[in-house]
Chains A and B, each alone.
Chain A
Amino acid sequence: MDTPRPEPPLNALYQELILDHYRRPRNKGVLEHPTHTVALTNPLCGDEIDLQLRVEGDVITDVRFIGRGCSISQAAASMMTQIVRQRPVSDALQLAQRMSALMRGDEAAATDRALGDLRALAGVARFPVRVKCALLPWNALTDALKS
């Protein structure tokens, strides 16, 4: 039997980079001496993230997460930890806003180089029920930094 070819939107959703982060999550584990921790769940589908940050001065010096859930939520968490590490808090909060824009289908955000690898998640915008998966870690980050 020939392997059926997935449709373009599905290919855009499940890119290699996303599956790589899902299967080999970066910065997954427990952070020693965190200054900020927050646990968020998505009760509808059971995605979980437990985010731990160490903020020194105005900079996120380290970040780890523990979580389980779908590929989108876990890959988004892994990618987020990479991009916010060693960044000022204000930068991280700005990135969270750009991610929201990306998930609303904002075309400018989709080509925004500042988002780096996060642009791989642009395909999620075409699957409205999955947007909350991609934003779960970012909501956790925003909650943690504003607490």
Chain B
Amino acid sequence: MLDARAIRADFPLLAQREHGRPIVYLDNAATTQKPQVVLDALTDYYRTTNANVHRGAYDLAIRATEAYEAARVRVAQFVNAWASEGVVFTRGTTEAINLVAGSYGRATVRAGDTVVVTAMDHHSNLVPWQLLCQEKGASVRMVEITADGRLDLSDFGRALEGRPKVVALPYVSNALGTVNPVAQLARLAHAAGAVVLVDGAQATPHLAVDVQALDCDFYALSGHKMLGPMGIGALVAKPALLDAMPPYQGGGEMIARVWDDHSTYNQLPHKFEAGTPNVEGAVGLAAAIAYLERVGLDRIAEHEVTLAQAAIEQLSEIDGITVYGPRDHRAGVVSFTYGDIHPHDLATILDQDGVCIRAGHHCAQPLMRRLNVAATARASFYLYNDEDDLATLIAALAKAGALFGYATA
């Protein structure tokens, strides 16, 4: 286990109190808190380096461009990207997926084609494909899940028989914590002639990612879920694919030459980065990656899985609590319900003890329908959480149980 107490000292927000209690932040699948080094990187950038990038007629602008491009290299190394020009900065995972659907998808998906998604995809890896398929007269094929919240591999096989153009799936489910066997699924999808997009929003912060080993084609990630600032993320892609794709948005930076009625486009990755980019965000994300690498992704993954397993065990002992998702091959996300106590009531009650959890459909309404619930409560752990946080959660749940008349042994 990590020394979570020492790690917590690096995060100013976690020293705050909520309702007079020390904060127990268990909503890391929604967003993460930021260490001081990330906050410092943001202010240092504006104090010493700020200028618009790629227009370097003076030294300051050159330094800003270098900081921005160094951040790109850092992201590329972090996930073992094919090349740093295969890293396109976006606002986050959602924009990265919309970029692929709006550019690659629009150029390749035709009437009658199929795009495969899964019943555990976040709305951000579903709705862009619905929009594309509606526009093209194509169809979305959703792969089912098993009773214990894993992808149904035989249904995945059946979905591939339709020779889909694109297979989109999450590496880690944000609602169940399931870790999908992406490398295996990508191999099958490629054999069926599809390109593979992996939603890495919940994986990148929590386990060592190697996109070349996964052998996907597109990989999307969000900075704010991995200690970085909001509004920065990346699409990591095979450069040959990006090169063949039409631009996604038009504007400055993405062009080579502009005439009255047409333009030629900049080289990768700038072709996909129209307008002034989020340099501050990229610099902050690079600082977050440096922090995560110093702790070590393997140690973070082990820490979270240990906490999640303990959480599942302790939650399962409480009469009336149902835990969703698989028992193994999972990350630090634990979804549950408690009898007839609505998750929003649970969240309100836990909040009084400073415990922050998520209650709701987790932007996964098709999944909730399959679990036959309207909503779940979700506790998601990160490197700064420890057994004391879990104990506070369990005690607060006992309080909720008492309020609603459940026996709390």
Contact = CB atoms under 8 A, between A and B. Distances in A.
Contacts, number: 61
A69 to B, nearest CB: 7
B348 A130 contact: yes
A92 B50 CA distance: 60
Interface string A63-76: 00000111110000
Nearest to A127: B348
Chain B interface, DSSP helix/strand/loop, else mixed: mixed
Contact of B342 (A44, A69, A129): A69
A10 B375 contact: no
A9 interface: yes
A45 B349 contact: no
A57 interface: no
B409 to A, nearest CB: 7
B345 A3 contact: no
B342 A70 contact: yes
A45 B375 CA distance: 9
Nearest to A124: B348
A127 B359 CA distance: 16
Contacts of B375: 45-46
Interface residues of A, number: 27
Interface string A1-18: 101111101110110000
Interface size grouping (class) on chain B: 20 to 34
A44 to B, nearest CB: 8
Contacts of B345: 14, 70-72
B344 interface: yes
Interface in A1-53: 1, 3-7, 9-11, 13-14, 19, 22-23, 44-47
B361 interface: yes
A6 B360 contact: no
Contacts of B408: 1, 3
B342 to A, nearest CB: 4
A68 B341 CA distance: 12
B348 A45 contact: no
A97 B342 CA distance: 27
Contacts of A9: 352
Contacts of B360: 44-46
B6 interface: no
B112 interface: no
Nearest to A7: B352
Contact of A3 (B340, B341, B398): B398
B388 to A, nearest CB: 16
Given A14-B345, A71-B345, A130-B348, A4 B405 contact: no
14 contacts: A3-B399, A4-B399, A4-B402, A6-B399, A6-B402, A7-B352, A10-B403, A13-B348, A14-B349, A14-B403, A22-B340, A47-B344, A71-B345, A130-B344
| Nearest 8 A/B pairs, CB to CB | A70-B342, A70-B344, A14-B403, A3-B402, A4-B399, A45-B344, A3-B408, A70-B345
Given A1-B409, A71-B345, A133-B344, 14 more contacts: A4-B402, A6-B402, A9-B352, A11-B403, A13-B348, A14-B349, A14-B403, A19-B404, A19-B405, A45-B360, A46-B374, A69-B374, A70-B342, A130-B348
